[in-house]
């Protein structure tokens, strides 16, 4: 394996962190001078190079925490990501670095404010794809992202791998509610980021990291998204990178389906099962399909390691009426699924549902289902 010298790695850390030098400028300078070290020596006087001592501290801190800083010129750097014009010069990696060059992979993205049904679909498809040797890549956001990671990790006897691409420094799990999920992904898969250690959540960083999610994979699956969703940015980037785009269709009266339905109108592949994905990615004959998950979907709303660790991520009875609404759709959700998703007691959930029903925000459907009111 070809490794970058420590001197050159420090120079790359300095160059990409120099004010007013972004990814494109980094590569132009690198190409012109042949190395980051030479580029720093020839920087125009208007640039103030990132200090050597700070770069050394960054590298030392990363090593102390078990974090690998992977240069674009290192053979470990994912080949698929090199295909995009503005691939990050450096990747911070924590976990199983070999996953960066996994043979087949798929991005799964969607709404943060996802319905129970959307989470269920994301988890189930991610589980089945992982069972068929397709690596799931997502952004560890709440909603669809989290469900995709959990479904993937429940596969392969609860040892399934997955990759999370962060919009923060790799040492800053975000959102905070996903700290346990973050630890679990490191244990079974890989967490990566292009941002320096300690980088806090900033709105502009999350759309930018989407190019990495799309670039690492053969295609992107959008499960739920409205027309303003950041998931549509990922889908657009996938198209620009010559990747496939897939979407789950939804009800025309459900706002979370407007984005996915529009993608299908625009030419995205409609997905009803994993065969729709594997066939278009030419992976259907890669290996014999494993049996599909067919028992209770308890893994949809818990971390696979929770049973062993006796952890409960959502304290009972802390959810509010607004939280309940975020899980619902106009198609309807079973009450027992709501109990599992919210971790509320049956009595507490019943009381909240009565309040929501009286306010006209929900309605009851046959089969013990609850749905958002069709307005």
**pLDDT digit string, tens, across residues 135-194:** 999 999 999 999 999 999 999 999 999 999 999 999 999 999 999 999 999 999 999 999
Indicate whether 203 and 78 sit together in one domain. no
Check residue 300 and give its pLDDT: 46
The set of residues, in sequence order, having a beta carbon less than 8 Å from that of 150 and lying 6+ positions away, is 123, 126, 181, 299, 300, 302, 303, 304
Which of 57, 78, 97 corresponds to the end of one domain? 97
Among 97, 132, 167, residue at a domain's last position: 97
Same domain, 166 and 230: yes
Query: In CATH, what number is assigned to the domain containing residue 345?
Result: 1.10.10.10
Asked whether residue 206 is domain-assigned, the answer is yes
Q: Which residues contact 311 (CB under 8 A, 6 or more apart)?
A: 180, 303, 305
Residue 304 resides in a domain: no
* Whether the predicted model's global pTM rises above the 0.85 cut: no
Do 30 and 110 fall within a single domain?
no
Domain boundary, last residue among 97, 124, 151 = 97
State the average pLDDT over residues 41-59. Answer: 95
Query: Rounded distance, CA 120 to CA 136, Å?
Result: 15
Q: Residues 11, 132: one domain? A: no
Does any domain span residue 1?
Answer: no
When mean pLDDT is compared across 66-80, 178-192, 204-218, 346-360, the lowest value belongs to 346-360
- On whether both 287 and 353 belong to a single domain, the answer is no
Half-sphere exposure in the Cβ direction for 121 (13 Å, CA) = 23
Residues spanned by the domain of 21: 6-97
Residue 337 domain-assigned (yes or no): yes
Looking at 59-73, 103-117, 134-148, 298-312, which range is the least confident one? 298-312
Whether 306 maps to a domain, the answer reads no
Closest-CA residue to 224 (of 191, 200, 246): 246
Averaged pLDDT of the chain = 87
Kindly state whether residues 51 and 152 are assigned to the same domain: no
Domain presence at residue 361: yes
- In this structure, are 265 and 140 located in the same domain? yes
CATH of the domain at 182: 3.40.50.450
pLDDT tens-digit series, residues 314-372: 333 456 777 777 778 777 887 877 777 777 887 788 778 877 877 778 888 887 888 88
224 and 148 together in one domain: yes
């Amino acid at each position: 394996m070809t490794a970058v010298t420590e001197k050159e790695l420090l120079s790359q850390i300095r160059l990409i962190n120099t004010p007013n030098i972004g990814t494109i400028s980094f590569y132009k300078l690198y190409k012109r001078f042949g190395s980051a070290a030479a580029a720093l020596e020839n920087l125009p006087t208007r640039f103030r190079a990132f200090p050597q001592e700070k770069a050394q501290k960054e590298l030392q801190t990363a090593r102390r925490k078990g974090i690998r800083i992977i240069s674009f010129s290192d053979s470990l750097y994912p080949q698929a990501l090199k295909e995009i014009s503005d691939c990050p010069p450096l990747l911070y990696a924590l976990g199983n670095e070999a996953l960066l060059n996994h043979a087949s992979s798929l991005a799964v993205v969607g709404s943060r404010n996802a319905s129970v049904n959307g989470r269920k679909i994301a988890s189930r498809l991610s589980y089945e794809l992982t069972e068929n040797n397709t690596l799931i890549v997502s952004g560890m956001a709440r909603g669809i992202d989290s469900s995709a990671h959990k479904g993937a990790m429940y596969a392969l006897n609860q040892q399934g791998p997955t990759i999370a691409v962060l919009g923060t420094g790799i040492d800053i799990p975000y959102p905070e509610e996903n700290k346990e999920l973050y630890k679990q992904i490191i244990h079974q898969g890989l967490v990566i980021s292009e941002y320096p250690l300690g980088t806090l959540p900033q709105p502009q960083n999350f759309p930018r990291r989407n190019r990495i999610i799309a670039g690492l994979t053969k295609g992107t699956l959008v499960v739920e998204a409205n027309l303003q969703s950041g998931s549509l940015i990922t889908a657009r980037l996938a198209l620009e990178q010559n990747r496939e785009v897939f979407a789950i269709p939804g009800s025309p009266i459900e706002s979370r389906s407007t984005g996915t339905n529009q993608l299908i109108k625009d030419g995205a592949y409609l997905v009803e099962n994993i065969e729709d994905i594997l066939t278009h990615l030419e992976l259907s004959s890669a290996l014999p399909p494993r049996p599909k998950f067919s028992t209770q979907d308890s893994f949809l709303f818990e971390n696979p390691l929770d049973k062993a660790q006796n952890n409960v991520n959502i304290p009972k009875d802390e959810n509010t009426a607004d939280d309940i609404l975020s899980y619902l759709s106009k198609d309807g959700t079973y009450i027992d699924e709501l109990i599992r998703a919210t971790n509320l007691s049956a009595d507490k959930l019943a009381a909240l549902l009565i309040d929501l029903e009286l306010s006209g925000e929900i309605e009851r459907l046959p089969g013990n289902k609850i749905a958002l009111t069709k307005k």
